[in-house]
Structure 1
Amino acid sequence: MTTTLLPLRQQPRFMALLLGGFALLVCGSVAISSRLTAPQILLRQQEDTQRLLTQVLPNSLYDNMPSQDEVTLTLDDQPIHFFRARQGGKVSAIALFASSRGYGGDIQMLLGIDAQGTLTGVRVISHTETPGLGDKIETAKGDWILGFDGLSLHKPDDQGWHVKKDGGQFDSFTGATITPRAVVKGVHESLQLFARHSAQILDQSPVGSTSTDKE
């Protein structure tokens, strides 16, 4: 019986090698492209972050680039992510991420707090609250969120840190009390955390450092 040899290009081994080589070429190209574009991507991310931070950190509070002074600390057994604003190398304020459970899910917030513990701004950066009701926490839908500016842990007192329906000083929304209640609670708890750990949060570590600490 005569065995007919297939042309090289039709042999399974050749096809496997060809596919393997092509896969390596594609992976190599992706790796090189990622390495070349990584610095630009990082720069764009820092610029986007900086634009967000300017909403809660007044320019008068810093002479550095807070988006490049990023820190993560483990406080009260949870990682807390924030950015530090500096004047003359000294931390003058921080921008702190916080979350609170609203009516439709988690409400993600960004808070600006100066070194004395006073709020310099609060913004909701994402939420799933009911359109037309709970979405009044957005600056695009109203100025309710601006009412936190200038407040601190003791201004108002503990009772004041509730919506008016619960005996506090903050307005709620018609048909959507749960949403503002959640935001007030999240802001208040963030101020309490800042008060407990201000020494660590305001630590004068080198600019651009990222660290993890735990008591």
Structure 2
Amino acid sequence: MSDERYTASRTALRTAGIMLVFTLVFTALMAATYRLTAPSIAEAVQTHKMRLIHDILPPGSYDNDLLADVVELGPAPELGLVRGGQVYRARQGGAPAALVLDVVAPDGYAGRVALAVAVGIEGRVSGVRVTEHAETPGLGDYIDPAKDRNRESPWIDQFEGASFAGTPPSDWRVTKDGGAFDYHVGATISARAVIEATRRALHWATTHREALFDAPAGARLQLE
């Protein structure tokens, strides 16, 4: 019986040793892979961000390094940011030109819709793009220009140039509700969510414009 126990103990120890070696080797390989791929992944993320920003903020409208001129936000309920987000600051010749905000519409048909909203210094929306959504394919996903069947005039482009001077806050609704913005029949909820989130972003950006541009790059702000 003692021999059987000894053999079982040796087998268990050997198995544990093999598993430990396997775990250490696997961890080392994963760490090495991460170190090798992290720079390219970071570069891809930055490239994607700039491509998105170029869609809503023409390159000729600013001359600073947008990805370096960023402030971090704490939780911002008006922007739908539960855990906070980022604001990119565009400048022309050192003067404030526009803000690009992370925004979330929590009330899309299928849940949250993440947006990037650009607001010019004069209080006009330069552009809006959906960065994340789960809206119904072929129905509510037209809020994303990549999914909109109208390639020449995507639905989301109607925000370009929108302002409270031209469109009072009370008119930031779909035409079905008496507002100024078009929508696709059968997919009103998605449009309502994006319109309301954009309206709130415009109001928030114009309200906090000075504080956002005055803050040092990399600062974390908590603005009400």
TM superposition shift of 1:170: 1.4
TM superposition shift of 1:37: 2.7
Deviation per residue, 1:92-114 (Å, 9 max, x gap): 21211222212232222211112
Q: Please list every run of 5 or more consecutive structure 1 residues that lacks an aligned counterpart in the other structure.
A: none
Provide the residue aligned with 1:150 in structure 2: 161
Change (3 A) 1:107 1:23: closer
Tell me how large the CA RMSD over aligned residues is: 2.9
Look up the equivalent residue of 1:159 and give its one-letter code: S
- Is the contact between residue 53 and residue 67 of structure 1 (CA under 8 Å) also seen in structure 2? no
- Is the contact between residue 71 and residue 215 of structure 2 (CA under 8 Å) also seen in structure 1? no
TM superposition shift of 1:18: 3.8
1:135 counterpart SS class: helix
Provide the residue aligned with 2:74 in structure 1: 74
Deviates more, 1:180-189 or 1:32-41: 32-41
Provide the residue aligned with 1:160 in structure 2: 171
Cα distance in 2, alignment partners of residues 187 and 86 from structure 1: 22
Change (3 A) 1:30 1:173: closer
Please point out which of 186, 189, 197 is paired with 1:175. 186
2:55 counterpart SS class: coil
2:161 counterpart SS class: coil
Residue 83 (1) aligns with residue 92 (2): no
Look up the equivalent residue of 1:39 and give its one-letter code: P
Residue 141 (1) aligns with residue 149 (2): yes
Cα distance in 2, alignment partners of residues 121 and 52 from structure 1: 10
Please point out which of 196, 200, 222 is paired with 1:213. 222
Detail structure 1 runs of 4+ shifted over 6 Å in the superposition.
Answer: none
Provide the residue aligned with 1:37 in structure 2: 37
TM-score of the superposition, structure 1-length normalised? 0.81
1:66 counterpart SS class: coil
Deviates more, 1:46-55 or 1:61-70: 61-70
Deviates more, 1:183-192 or 1:16-25: 16-25
1:55 counterpart SS class: helix
Provide the residue aligned with 2:101 in structure 1: 96
- Is the contact between residue 98 and residue 118 of structure 2 (CA under 8 Å) also seen in structure 1? yes
Deviates more, 1:51-60 or 1:21-30: 21-30
Cα distance in 2, alignment partners of residues 177 and 75 from structure 1: 28
- Is the contact between residue 123 and residue 138 of structure 1 (CA under 8 Å) also seen in structure 2? yes
Cα distance in 2, alignment partners of residues 176 and 18 from structure 1: 57
- Is the contact between residue 90 and residue 204 of structure 1 (CA under 8 Å) also seen in structure 2? no
Deviates more, 1:151-160 or 1:13-22: 13-22
Cα distance in 2, alignment partners of residues 115 and 83 from structure 1: 13
- Is the contact between residue 88 and residue 99 of structure 2 (CA under 8 Å) also seen in structure 1? yes
More helix by share: 2
TM superposition shift of 1:59: 0.8
Deviation per residue, 1:56-88 (Å, 9 max, x gap): 111112223323433321265552423222333
Q: Please list every run of 5 or more consecutive structure 2 residues that lacks an aligned counterpart in the other structure.
A: none
Percent identical among aligned pairs is 34
- Number of aligned residues: 211
TM superposition shift of 1:188: 0.5
TM-score of the superposition, structure 2-length normalised? 0.78
- Is the contact between residue 88 and residue 101 of structure 2 (CA under 8 Å) also seen in structure 1? yes
